[in-house]
Structure 1
Amino acid sequence: MKNKFKITGMTCAACSRAVERAVKKLDGIDKAEVNLAIEELYVEYDEKKVSEDDIIRAVEKAGYGAYLKNIKEVTLKISGMTCATCAKTIERVLGRSDGILNAEVNFALEKLYVKYDTSKVRLSMIKSIIKKAGYDVVEDLKEKEKGDTKGKNNKSLFNLKIAAIFTLPLLYIAMGHMLNFPIPEIIHHHKNPLNFALVQLILTIPTVYAGRRFYIVGFRNLIKLSPNMDSLIAIGTSAAIIYGLFAIYQIAIGNTEYAKELYFESAATIITLILLGKYLEARAKNRTSEAIEKLINLSPKMATIIKDNMEIEIPTEEVEVEDVVLVRPGERIPVDGVVIEGKTTVDESMLTGESIPQLKEEGSNVFAGSINKNGWIKFRVTKGKEDTVLSQIIRLVEEAQSKKAPIARLADIVSGYFVPVVILISIVSSIAWYIVTKDGVFSLTIFISVLVIACPCALGLATPTAIMVGSGKGAELGVLIKSGEALEMLHKVDVVLLDKTGTITEGRPTVTDIKAYNIEEEKLVSYAASLERLSEHPLGEAVYEFAKDKGIDIYDVVDFKSITGHGVYGKIQEREVLVGNTKLMKEYNIDISGVERYIEEISKLGRTAIIVSIDREVKGVIGIADRVKENSRRAIELIKNMKKKVVMLTGDNYLTAKSIADEVMVDEFIAEVLPQNKADVVKEYQSKNKRVLMVGDGINDAPALAQADVGMAIGSGTDIAIESADVVLMKSDLLDAAYSIELSRKTIKNIKENLFWAFFYNVIGIPVAAGVLVLFGGPRLNPMIAALAMSFSSVSVVLNALRLKGFRPKK
């Protein structure tokens, strides 16, 4: 068997070799070759021994993404949906189609996420299936989306105004006499009953036209045996209107008593109230996607490039890689790049949540959407508009909002059966009451009330709206959650595994201790740093950076020598200087007995000791360690307070690991873990039925991130780690890991509240509408009140989800 797979997450030739090695380890693989340029894996294999899924899993465990070359994923904007049943209908018809691997509809966002096999089905065929089901696909998704939303809201408002203008006088005419309001004699129900009825019919017609969509979609879906919310409204109000026409006929032939049995005002009011509810719901739903809109608006529409020493303003979309862009004070940076001239501070809080402006000078990276504060800079473009960090963030948030969380499945199952069951209940209860009371008007009222009050909208909105707001809030805080599933799983994890280097610690060596003997500390550091400036060792670089930050003098060095594995030698101001470990000192026969105890003390604290000798005499010891990040201890404390077990993983020796573990107070630590064994640690906890959150930042963390129930990457880490993770912490602050777990808990709690009220509303509302209270001497439910309650249920669910916008993490 031969096949081609698309590989994501590769950045260099080493990545392609890693993918090849991972696949070749599988039994049954005859050939595996990666083309890095086109990001493609060609495989020849025995399909009896290994499957496509096995190959994809092997690539993912290596820290990369993979999918069959002929498998595509697209997101389509769907118009014409009015409730959760519509979403379920689209999923069902697509699910029955050959070649569709997965189809998920987000009713709140009106988006379809579909994964399909291009060898079996084309995108045009998918669109055709959707249209045959009674819905439309909006072309040019990104361009039209914003305008469509605005236009849809304006159209909804126009229809609402039309309905309200005609419904208010209709209500006055139909019910004014009950309140002794003055009614013109020409349309008085006693003196001119036929005119009274005809005027109501005339006023009802524009309202029905304003709500025509309910009838067009409702009856079409009913004919196709896929009834939805529109079908309930269409059947209920049509029954009231048809009965009204029958009443007009009776009045015309002399049965004027029927003037008391007109239900035109009920039909018109139901339509008006539902249009009002839909308009309020749409406005509230728009607020749930504000996070995406804010991110999109961060990127300026125009950019100033330098070409032939001239400043040219062009649209940001036309900026190319290698262009030189000029950004003045107060302007937003249009695309990603590297500064080549100038110096400024840049506010990146919109992208990372970090409030302190960052210094940018030659060699610094700048990112689209950030604000240049007080200086001018020129930078060379490294990524086009579609590939910027901002664009990646927008894609991640959109994907998270489009894909369903597991908790949504319950609502999907219920809404799929809901409408047919409601229609059955309305028919049965109406017939039962007619048999008992012989009152056609009463049974009609029951029929309409049940249909109108039972709307699955609240069920359909319960989950996606909360996920939209929750993932959007995460993006505001600098936490990118890639899927609804990850958002749901975060708060359920039992064990949090933390990689040490770059996650708990800074990830780079720093001077932590200085002990000088018969010499000033500054002079000691000055001599050491002068030598280490010429060294390429990370520990030497730490000493030099420390001296540079403190403004300590650096001297010229002669006769410099680097002794691999030992240290450095040189002459400064005609004095012989040695900087290195105990082996270097012994090689040069220098007595270190006076500092051995101090070296032992700092070694127990996880520090690396560098000895400084001047003219063959030890003058001091410099301790170097990977410093713990400022917020790591507080973050671990917060996670432990959430009843999660916190475990630190590191490749360091036991003493260094214990020192860091004691400082940040983790529950456990595992030292001397080889990079390839981190995923095995994850598996070990999973074998004990523990759900695992893995937090890491490096290439060697990628397999563990992919293996964990939730993988969380530090934003400053490698692209491969970020690609493998379910959650990305843009600020590289471990506190955000604690915040994301709390945000997950709050979001799922919000979803459960929404689902509870949606179910509770229908469990209570339908029996009341069916006349249960009447059996005990209570009132019947007026259809107009049922319509108001139905609209309120959807709006209340969305408003409850919007409470998540007020989420404030514990500091």
Structure 2
Amino acid sequence: MNDSPETCSLPGESKAPLQKTDFFKVSGMGCAACAARIEKILRHAPGVFEASVNFAAQKLKVTYDPQKISPEDIAALVKKEGYELIAPRAQRETALVTISGMSCAACAARVEKALSKIPGVFEASVNLASAKARIIYDPGLTGPPRFREAIEKEGYRLLELGPRPETLLASSEAERLSELKRRLLVAWSLGPLIFFLSMEKVFPVVSQIPPDLRRVILFVLTCPVEFYAGWEFLKGAFEGLRHRRTDMNTLVSLGTLSAFFYSAVVTFWPKPFVSAGLPLHVYYDSAAMIIAFVLLGRYLETRARGRATEAVRKLLSLTPAMARVIREGQEVEIPAEALLPGDLVLVRPGERLPADGVIIEGETAIDESMLTGESLPVEKAPGAKVIGGTLNLYGAFRFRVEKVGQETTLATIARLVEEAQGSKARIQRLADKVAGIFVPIVLSIAALTLAVWLLLGPEPRLTNALLSFVSVLVIACPCAMGLATPAAVMVGTGRAAETGILVKNALALEEGARVRVCLFDKTGTLTRGRPEVRGIFPAEGQMAEELLRLAAALEVHSEHPLSKAIVEAARGLELPKVQNVSAYPGQGLAGDLKGHRLLVGKPDWVGKRAPVPQILQEKMTSEAASGRTVILVALRDEVLGFLTIADTLRPEAKEVVRELKELGLKVMMITGDNQPTAAAIARELALDDFLAEVMPQAKAEKVRELQKEGLSIMMVGDGINDAPALAQADLGVALSSGTDIALESADVALMREDLRLVPQTISLCRATLRIIKQNLFWAFGYNILAIPLAAGLFYPLFGWRLNPMVAAAAMAMSSVSVVANALRLKKIAIH
């Protein structure tokens, strides 16, 4: 009878499995085999859905049902194997931290490492593109002050702490761009002039200026570029030196200062060079134009990164600043942030709602497209829920405030999108590992380049060596490598939110691109979830109305959709009183009626307790074969007849199945219905396969069995009743009403009940992963090709060399191109 875990709401009945995820510190592990042993023990423990051990971090992540097993029980199981767990003191919390001062992937990797080392921090991931860190921690062991200390110890500055979706980074973008513009103005006003004065062979008019005077003029012009326009590089390099770290600032500063100070020595102390027979070349143009190009790249990158996060800012900007409330019978206008739950708010046509609530008076239509992606307005009447930030199209109404501030749907979505943008995809690990050691390797290559050119290079050796040294330092900046994945994740999650798809983390985007099987729950997912009684078949000598009346008398005690359908069909009938009601999840209900046992439920369950007449058995088989659910009714161990219930398919279900197949997915259904009913639906939808008669608690195990076959599974359900299966699947997708976002178990929530968002989710995930791979390919490929070219590896064969100015322009454009490629996700069509 039941197709979902949440069968009834009777006292003492079995409820849907709850799900909780905790992190533990593990001590006593000596090798990877220890970690595997712990995982095996816990995965077989009752109530544990999943367990994974990170041997390197000495941490355990376990997802379990707190009604069946406690953290203390988990610790005891592990202790029996000879290991110790430090149980969490409190439920884990998530902090979003905005950081300034990070300039490249090496910076992000360093901050992430520092945060991960803090006792009580379970997980830390740093997104260079958004300049945010997402920290999952135990508030009983650590907290924001410790995060600030760790970040500042590394030489960076913490701008903001807390779960608020608003960030100082977003609010300070204008100031940051303004500062970059001022420095760009200096660099690009003087840089081209310095370049012009340095090219006497290209511009003969320059040679009319005496060489000594021209070198002094170039020194004077370059000083503002080097020490004002390039100050943030110098400052960053100094901070890095003070904290014994290297990053992009180190490379740029070392390269430009080498060129600048070499030129300054030639300008003011030329005698040693003349005595050695060396030409008096200066490289002020290289120093100035490197800074000009790198600054231009950083400016363009900052603007592009701002576009990548505009989805969140758009959401947050929708909440009006003021609200019109009714206080003591008077209409008063107050700041929206001053609203309290219970306040009565008046909304007029054309106004946006300041908070979440329930309509008390009036009817209207509301545009909810900013949350759901659905362009059609939604009709609202008294009793309907409304969402803050949505637009009232016509009709004034009053609503009672239920959620304000950070509790509203709008703020929750913005926070979840920000958390997703701060998370890290699995594919990024390689880039992180490379970034962590990249700058020291580049410095070594640059030093080797300098030595080889000085020893073996053609004359003028010092000049050639210096130019190659600077080119290697400048072109090898790992910015593009660090931005490749996070930029795509930011844009992808933002695009998803605008479409009505709420992605929980970057891993979900990656898993969504790799799924090969789509497993749909039936009730409320493929169907509308509002079944109706379609037929009443009394046994010989019984009355149809009496049969319905008895069934409803028992089903009135249940909240299951099938129970509600029976009760609704019996509306207007007088129902007898049933006592001692018991619920049997996935089977049916039983109770006492005037001293006799009344049973209502699945045919095989009721049939074991009361014989079914042959004529009824044949009718039941026929009805079940047509796709209807059969509910058998028995009293005094005698079958009185049966009811048939059917749940209509969603109108878009067939189209969605076809689109998923076109995307190359195998489409299946999992249901608690009997085989004939499930088979009828599978035929109608042209499904590849189905799993029938699966009890709610067994759905997760079925998903696990499919995964053992090497299949990557996407489970689509209602987000509440299918929690264990959603958590077990590689990608869990929950249908949501838009106001009840069930993300505890699912990786993705669809903000409107429209199955067409499912194939769109797959398309978006694939597009995002494709962009990430493109970015990583070009980022790695750029450095693999550019560093040997800059070092002069191709000079002996082809005479190819790289001017430092060209190197600076190429490096700047590589970062911009990565972000620009990620921004293509905003325009890519998803179907």
Please give the TM-score of this superposition, normalised by the length of structure 2.
0.79
Q: What corresponds to 2:4 in structure 1? A: none
The answer (yes or no) to whether the contact 1:229–1:455 under 8 Å persists in 2 is: yes
Q: How far apart are the structure 1 equivalents of 2:47 and 2:285?
A: 73
Q: How far apart are the structure 1 equivalents of 2:443 and 2:666?
A: 51
Distance 1:540 1:496, change over 3 A: closer
Distance 1:451 1:43, change over 3 A: closer
Q: What corresponds to 1:328 in structure 2? A: 348
Q: How far apart are the structure 2 equivalents of 1:505 and 1:806?
A: 32
Shift of residue 767 of structure 1? Answer: 0.9
Q: How far apart are the structure 2 equivalents of 1:243 and 1:98?
A: 47
Counterpart amino acid of residue 333 in structure 1: L
Counterpart amino acid of residue 179 in structure 1: V
Q: What corresponds to 2:766 in structure 1? A: 745
Q: How far apart are the structure 1 equivalents of 2:794 and 2:142?
A: 53
Which residue of 171, 178, 183 corresponds with 2:195? Answer: 171
Which residue of 473, 480, 483 corresponds with 2:502? Answer: 480
Report which structure shows greater RCO (CA 8 Å, sep ≥6): 2
The answer (yes or no) to whether the contact 2:90–2:140 under 8 Å persists in 1 is: no
Counterpart amino acid of residue 680 in structure 1: E
The answer (yes or no) to whether the contact 2:99–2:160 under 8 Å persists in 1 is: no
Matches within 5 A, 1:257-406: 260-406=280-426
Counterpart amino acid of residue 213 in structure 1: E
SS across alignment from 1:304: strand
Q: How far apart are the structure 2 equivalents of 1:239 and 1:20?
A: 59
Shift of residue 596 of structure 1? Answer: 12
Which residue of 459, 464, 484 corresponds with 1:442? Answer: 464
CA offsets 1:340-385 (integer angstroms, 9 cap, x no match): 1000011111111112111100111111121111111111111122
Aligned-pair Cα RMSD in Å = 4.2
Residue 49 (structure 1) aligned with residue 68 (structure 2): no
Q: How far apart are the structure 1 equivalents of 2:687 and 2:463?
A: 71
SS across alignment from 2:722: helix
Residue 674 (structure 1) aligned with residue 695 (structure 2): yes
More deviation, 222-231/406-415: 222-231
The answer (yes or no) to whether the contact 2:187–2:292 under 8 Å persists in 1 is: yes
Distance 1:44 1:94, change over 3 A: closer
Distance 1:140 1:374, change over 3 A: same
The answer (yes or no) to whether the contact 1:699–1:718 under 8 Å persists in 2 is: no
Q: What corresponds to 2:680 in structure 1? A: 659
Distance 1:423 1:13, change over 3 A: farther
Distance 1:771 1:346, change over 3 A: same
Counterpart amino acid of residue 237 in structure 1: T
Which residue of 689, 692, 697 corresponds with 2:713? Answer: 692
Distance 1:697 1:117, change over 3 A: closer
Q: What corresponds to 2:541 in structure 1? A: none
Shift of residue 51 of structure 1? Answer: 6.9
Unaligned runs of 5+ in 2: 1-10, 23-41, 49-66, 538-544, 579-587, 590-602, 604-613, 632-641
Q: How far apart are the structure 2 equivalents of 1:239 and 1:170?
A: 17
Which residue of 216, 222, 241 corresponds with 1:204? Answer: 222
Unaligned runs of 5+ in 1: 1-11, 30-38, 58-65, 184-188, 516-524, 548-553, 567-581, 583-592, 611-620
Which residue of 223, 235, 259 corresponds with 1:240? Answer: 259
The answer (yes or no) to whether the contact 1:207–1:268 under 8 Å persists in 2 is: yes
Shift of residue 93 of structure 1? Answer: 2.9
Residue 453 (structure 1) aligned with residue 475 (structure 2): yes
Shift of residue 421 of structure 1? Answer: 0.9
CA offsets 1:257-283 (integer angstroms, 9 cap, x no match): 978501011101100110001000111
Q: How far apart are the structure 2 equivalents of 1:511 and 1:371?
A: 38
Residue 800 (structure 1) aligned with residue 787 (structure 2): no
Q: How far apart are the structure 2 equivalents of 1:275 and 1:21?
A: 47
The answer (yes or no) to whether the contact 2:504–2:743 under 8 Å persists in 1 is: no
SS across alignment from 2:528: strand
Q: How far apart are the structure 2 equivalents of 1:374 and 1:418?
A: 59
SS across alignment from 1:779: coil
Q: What corresponds to 1:575 in structure 2? A: none
Q: How far apart are the structure 1 equivalents of 2:569 and 2:201?
A: 88
Matches within 5 A, 1:51-130: 68-69=89-90, 71-118=92-139, 120-130=141-151
Distance 1:461 1:730, change over 3 A: same
Q: How far apart are the structure 2 equivalents of 1:477 and 1:512?
A: 37
More deviation, 483-492/95-104: 95-104
Counterpart amino acid of residue 504 in structure 2: K
Distance 1:735 1:293, change over 3 A: same
The answer (yes or no) to whether the contact 1:697–1:718 under 8 Å persists in 2 is: no
CA offsets 1:166-225 (integer angstroms, 9 cap, x no match): 2222222222x3333544xxxxx5652221111111111111111111112124324544
Which residue of 749, 753, 778 corresponds with 1:732? Answer: 753
Matches within 5 A, 1:139-218: 139=160, 142=166, 144-175=168-199, 177-180=200-203, 182-183=205-206, 189=207, 192-208=210-226, 209-218=228-237
Distance 1:109 1:28, change over 3 A: closer
Q: How far apart are the structure 2 equivalents of 1:722 and 1:122?
A: 24
Q: How far apart are the structure 2 equivalents of 1:596 and 1:397?
A: 53
Q: How far apart are the structure 1 equivalents of 2:619 and 2:519?
A: 33
Q: What corresponds to 2:3 in structure 1? A: none
CA offsets 1:476-524 (integer angstroms, 9 cap, x no match): 1111110101110112123222110000000002477999xxxxxxxxx
The answer (yes or no) to whether the contact 1:88–1:415 under 8 Å persists in 2 is: yes
Shift of residue 542 of structure 1? Answer: 6.2
Counterpart amino acid of residue 339 in structure 1: I
Counterpart amino acid of residue 203 in structure 2: N
Counterpart amino acid of residue 160 in structure 1: L
Q: How far apart are the structure 1 equivalents of 2:14 and 2:89?
A: 19
Shift of residue 562 of structure 1? Answer: 6.4
Counterpart amino acid of residue 726 in structure 1: D
The answer (yes or no) to whether the contact 1:340–1:380 under 8 Å persists in 2 is: yes
The answer (yes or no) to whether the contact 1:701–1:721 under 8 Å persists in 2 is: no
Q: What corresponds to 1:705 in structure 2? A: 726
Q: How far apart are the structure 2 equivalents of 1:143 and 1:239?
A: 38
Q: How far apart are the structure 2 equivalents of 1:700 and 1:404?
A: 28
Shift of residue 96 of structure 1? Answer: 4.0
Counterpart amino acid of residue 101 in structure 2: G
Distance 1:512 1:792, change over 3 A: farther
Shift of residue 545 of structure 1? Answer: 8.8
Shift of residue 17 of structure 1? Answer: 10
Counterpart amino acid of residue 464 in structure 2: F
Which residue of 460, 463, 487 corresponds with 2:485? Answer: 463
Shift of residue 798 of structure 1? Answer: 0.5
The answer (yes or no) to whether the contact 1:676–1:700 under 8 Å persists in 2 is: no
CA offsets 1:441-482 (integer angstroms, 9 cap, x no match): 111001001111111000000000001111111111111110
Q: How far apart are the structure 1 equivalents of 2:724 and 2:261?
A: 66
Counterpart amino acid of residue 371 in structure 2: L
Matches within 5 A, 1:14-53: 45=73, 47-50=75-78
Shift of residue 716 of structure 1? Answer: 3.2
Shift of residue 91 of structure 1? Answer: 1.9
Distance 1:45 1:594, change over 3 A: closer
Percent sequence identity is 41
More deviation, 340-349/113-122: 113-122
Q: How far apart are the structure 2 equivalents of 1:22 and 1:490?
A: 21
Shift of residue 666 of structure 1? Answer: 1.3
SS across alignment from 1:109: coil
CA offsets 1:640-682 (integer angstroms, 9 cap, x no match): 2233222211112222212211111111112221111111111
Count of matched residue positions in the alignment of Structure 1 and Structure 2: 724
Please give the TM-score of this superposition, normalised by the length of structure 1.
0.81
The answer (yes or no) to whether the contact 1:715–1:722 under 8 Å persists in 2 is: no
Residue 782 (structure 1) aligned with residue 800 (structure 2): no
CA offsets 1:535-585 (integer angstroms, 9 cap, x no match): 9697797699999xxxxxx9xx7x85669899xxxxxxxxxxxxxxx9xxx
